Structure 1
């Protein structure tokens, strides 16, 4: 379903081997929280999605884990940005802005974090909407 949803928006995509249940369980253990159901379902079909330019629209599971652990660490950006704890980053635009699910309170919406001004703006209703918007959009489609 997820590969078809992405391919419906753009035929020029890179899909990777799916993630197995053991890797997902280990990722959730390391993160100390569950992954959003939509992201888990996508990762079971493909370990990330890259567009025709090589931009990771959806990151690999390893990158999701490493990136979020870094951003959730209190020592990474002390006093520079608002806390990232409520967010789970999973993709980017190739220019520094990153996309995230909101974990607290849990909701299916996707937000974008602007790395230049630390704003967090609504970008899509849910993951399928995000795939379509990001793959069909030009430039900063989320603004």
Structure 2
């Protein structure tokens, strides 16, 4: 499903799928399950890159690295609200990050604004997020 959806848009780069063991490792290391839609997407393509190199959906490896970094950065702890309730999975190329809320678990997509630390709802589902992120020009489609 996810490869077909992404292939509707020109200039989208898809990758080989990631195995379930890598996804289980992410869940174990972050201490929370991946959202089912994200897990399914990564098992079809390990991330989605749009035009100009925007990582609309990160690779499994980057998802783990970025979430770990956000949760363990001492400077971030002093500047921002906690990140443990979010699972970041993509960005706009300009600093804002997209995430699922994990506590309580929700399938809706939120954006974290790196300048204001706001966390704002932007899409009702991963599918809706992808259609918006891939189908609109410019990095600020969600504003």
Q: Any residues of structure 2 matched to 1:1-143 within 5 Å, and which? A: 1-8=1-8, 10-73=9-72, 75-139=74-138, 140-143=140-143
Distance in 2, matches of 1:111 and 1:79, equals 22
Runs of 4+ in 1 over 4 A off after TM superposition: none
Q: CA RMSD in A?
A: 1.1
Distance in 2, matches of 1:84 and 1:142, equals 20
Distance in 1, matches of 2:48 and 2:73, equals 29
Size of the aligned set, in residue pairs, is: 142
Q: Displacement, 1:85?
A: 1.1
What stretches of structure 1 of length at least 5 have no aligned partner? none
**TM score, norm. by length of structure 2:** 0.94
Is the CA contact (8 Å cut-off) linking 1:70 and 1:76 kept in structure 2? Answer: no
Is the CA contact (8 Å cut-off) linking 2:32 and 2:102 kept in structure 1? Answer: no
Farther-moved stretch of structure 1 (132-141 vs 96-105): 132-141
CA offset digits 1:91-137 (Å, max 9, x no partner) = 00000011000101111110001101111111111100000000112
Is the CA contact (8 Å cut-off) linking 1:88 and 1:100 kept in structure 2? Answer: yes
Distance in 1, matches of 2:137 and 2:73, equals 35
Q: Displacement, 1:73?
A: 1.7
What stretches of structure 2 of length at least 5 have no aligned partner? none
**TM score, norm. by length of structure 1:** 0.94
CA offset digits 1:61-111 (Å, max 9, x no partner) = 010001101111262412201111110000000000110001011111100
Q: Which has the higher helix share?
A: 2
Distance in 2, matches of 1:78 and 1:22, equals 30
Distance in 2, matches of 1:74 and 1:97, equals 17
Farther-moved stretch of structure 1 (53-62 vs 23-32): 23-32
